[in-house]
Amino acid sequence: MGGDEKAVLVFEDRLYSQGELAALADGLAGTLARRGVGVGTRVALMSSNRPEFVIAVQAVWRLGAAVVLLSPAWKRGEVEHALEITKPTHAVGDHPVLADLMSMLHLDERVEPVEPGSGLFPSPDPESDAVLVFSSGTTGLPKAVRHTYASLAAAVGHWREALRLTSDDRIQIATPPSHILGLLNIVTALEVGARVRLHRRFDLDRLLHHIELDRITVEMAVAPIALALASHPKLESYDLSSLRFIMWGATPVTPSVAETVTRRTGVGWVPAYGASELPVIACNPLDGARLDTPGRPVPGVSARVVSLETGKPVGPGETGEIEVRADSLMAGYLPAEATAEAFHDGWYRTGDVGSLDAEGWLHLTDRSKEMIKVRAFQVAPAEIEAVLYGHPAVADCAVFGIPDAADGEAVVAAVRAARPVQAAELVALVGDTLASYKRPSRVEFVADIPRLPSGKVLRRVLKDRFLKERDGRTSDS
């Protein structure tokens, strides 16, 4: 990198300028084009945290193609399902699972940078797919969320304005950028010319060290990171004065944890709320943020609350399902037949239950969908149940989430056994088949699994029963 060029991407000791990233992306785009990637092509990308991830995404977009982001935490069966529903024709990455399933251009292969501007890349059709990310539904198998170039650009605009991000900002990313928030952070930061430090993996002390060393201005956190910060014995030894704020996302704020961090560091929190389907829904004001709400809908996003019984809009302060719409809304799901039930009169059904007060503040109380949110990951109970049913000792089972201080929620499996089996054996089965964050934290052996006549599992009954036996309280208390 030239001495007079500003670094916009940093990885370990390597610094990249906008010009260098552009030259490398142009070079990789040329390689992909020679392999047949073009407008409308889908390219699978399964990568660890590394600069080549960013370069690969930019290269695919140079060609007007769509990048299919696969989590590096996934096991073979999960990747096979993702490939089956998205049907990419090309693959790029560094993961052996993807390399086993498709002919993959490895990110370790040298890319020759191309003089910027020497490659002519036409602007993509705004309504064509730019990225496909994955979000599990209550059916249990992940669905691909389709974002067009237009919807992603709108989301980037919303995020930029919500965070008031400028070229003076510095952020860092330690979570896999295959999730919508990681991608959104990278794309938004690069668009405004902010500096991004990309970490190979999450390490709290390393993050704290780089806040001090790099003068990071915006830090992103989810519940486990917030809890780790609050309990860090040497938190005061780090100079965090460069931070404008810490963003809390993915799970509702735990006020006691947030307040402890602020008391020990002097840095305030800014809660925000989004979804893979509509990445930026609400955000607190940067000045005077509150911990009891994810904020107001950002400009450009409309939100309403509808009755869980009638589907009709309810008044301020009344509880119902939160529905949203915006230019940043997804184009739909794959498989396509899953799209219809996600919408209600043109509004996206978030599956979250809450209210909007008279001043427009959003309040979340529950989720109507049965997803379990472990850290920043959505976990579908049915997916874990399908694995457990594969064990001959499992006669019936149901998976549900319980509140967990570190992870937001923890996965619990209730099992009716046909013969004796160790809980550890069932936990290991899930861990060997699915990503580690889907592994049950515990297995409870029960005499029966409560169900409706239709066969639908009454997870709430199981959850209440479990919590009552554990500590004498129900999930509503």
Q: What DSSP character marks residue 453? A: T
pLDDT at residue 117, as a whole number = 63
Interatomic CA distance for residues 213 and 70, integer angstroms: 32
pLDDT at residue 371, as a whole number = 76
Q: Is residue 160 predicted with pLDDT exceeding 60?
A: yes
Question: Tokens 């797919």 identify what position?
Answer: 129
| Helices and strands (H and E) in the chain: how many | 12, 26
pLDDT at residue 152, as a whole number = 98
What is the separation of C-alpha 392 from the centre of its chain, rounded to a whole number of angstroms? 34
* Selected residue with higher pLDDT from 464 and 331: 331
Q: Is residue 169 predicted with pLDDT exceeding 50?
A: yes
Q: Is residue 122 predicted with pLDDT exceeding 90?
A: no
pLDDT at residue 476, as a whole number = 47
pLDDT at residue 369, as a whole number = 65
Least confident window among 237-241, 270-274, 297-301, 374-378: 374-378
The first and second tokens of residue 69, run together, are 């982001």
3-state helix, strand, coil in the chain (%, to 5): 30, 30, 40
pLDDT at residue 139, as a whole number = 44
Mean pLDDT across the stretch 69-88?
95
Q: Which of 79-93, 216-230, 382-396 has the highest mean pLDDT?
A: 79-93
pLDDT at residue 138, as a whole number = 40
Q: Is residue 249 predicted with pLDDT exceeding 90?
A: no
User: Considering only CA atoms, which of 409, 411, 406 is closest in space to residue 435?
Assistant: 411
Least confident window among 16-20, 180-184, 466-470: 466-470
Q: Is residue 137 predicted with pLDDT exceeding 50?
A: no
User: Considering only CA atoms, which of 87, 70, 90 is closest in space to residue 79?
Assistant: 70
Q: Is residue 454 predicted with pLDDT exceeding 80?
A: no
Q: Label residue 390 by pLDDT band (50, 70, 90).
A: confident
pLDDT single digits (tens) 51-71: 999 999 999 999 999 999 999
Task: Report whether the peptide linkage leading into residue 116 is cis, meaning its omega lies within 30 degrees of zero.
Answer: no
Interatomic CA distance for residues 67 and 46, integer angstroms: 10
Q: Is residue 415 predicted with pLDDT exceeding 80?
A: yes
Q: Is residue 116 predicted with pLDDT exceeding 70?
A: no
Mean pLDDT value across the chain: 91
Q: Is residue 477 predicted with pLDDT exceeding 60?
A: no
Phi, psi dihedrals of residue 138, rounded to the nearest 5°: -70, -10
Q: Label residue 167 by pLDDT band (50, 70, 90).
A: very high
Q: Label residue 198 by pLDDT band (50, 70, 90).
A: very high
Amino acid found at 183: L
User: Considering only CA atoms, which of 312, 283, 123, 263 is closest in space to residue 218?
Assistant: 283
Mean pLDDT across the stretch 195-215?
96
pLDDT at residue 473, as a whole number = 52
Mean pLDDT across the stretch 187-211?
96
Q: Is residue 319 predicted with pLDDT exceeding 70?
A: yes
Which own/partner pairs from 228-233 qualify as long-range (CB within 8 Å, at least 24 positions apart)?
A: 228/204, 229/204, 229/261, 229/265, 230/257, 230/260, 230/261, 230/264, 232/204, 232/208
Phi, psi dihedrals of residue 307, rounded to the nearest 5°: -60, 135
Interatomic CA distance for residues 97 and 253, integer angstroms: 36
Task: Give me the CATH code for the 372-471 domain, please.
Answer: 3.30.300.30
- 434, 78 in Cβ contact below 8 A? yes
Least confident window among 2-11, 79-88, 188-197, 409-418: 2-11
> Strand (E) positions, 310-346?
320-326, 332-334, 343-344
Q: Which of 102-116, 124-138, 359-373 has the highest mean pLDDT?
A: 102-116
Q: Is residue 2 predicted with pLDDT exceeding 60?
A: no
pLDDT at residue 455, as a whole number = 58
Interatomic CA distance for residues 249 and 370, integer angstroms: 19
Least confident window among 227-231, 311-315, 329-333, 421-425: 227-231
Mean pLDDT across the stretch 79-106?
97
pLDDT at residue 367, as a whole number = 64
HSE-up of residue 62 (Cα within 13 Å, Cβ side): 27
Q: Label residue 456 by pLDDT band (50, 70, 90).
A: low
Q: Label residue 266 by pLDDT band (50, 70, 90).
A: very high
Bridge partner residues of 373 (DSSP) = 378
CATH architecture assignment, domain 7-265: 3-Layer(aba) Sandwich (3.40)
HSE-up of residue 129 (Cα within 13 Å, Cβ side): 22
Strand order in the sheet with 104-106: 104-106, 90-93, 42-46, 66-70, 129-136, 142-148, 332-334
Least confident window among 14-18, 137-141, 195-199: 137-141
Q: Is residue 453 predicted with pLDDT exceeding 60?
A: no
pLDDT at residue 127, as a whole number = 97
pLDDT at residue 175, as a whole number = 83
- 339, 143 in Cβ contact below 8 A? no
List, in sequence order, the alpha helices (H) in 35-95: 51-62, 76-86
- 127, 150 in Cβ contact below 8 A? yes
Of all residues in the chain, the percent with pLDDT exceeding 90 is 74
Q: Any idea where the domains of the chain sit in the sequence? A: 7-265, 372-471
Bridge partner residues of 266 (DSSP) = none
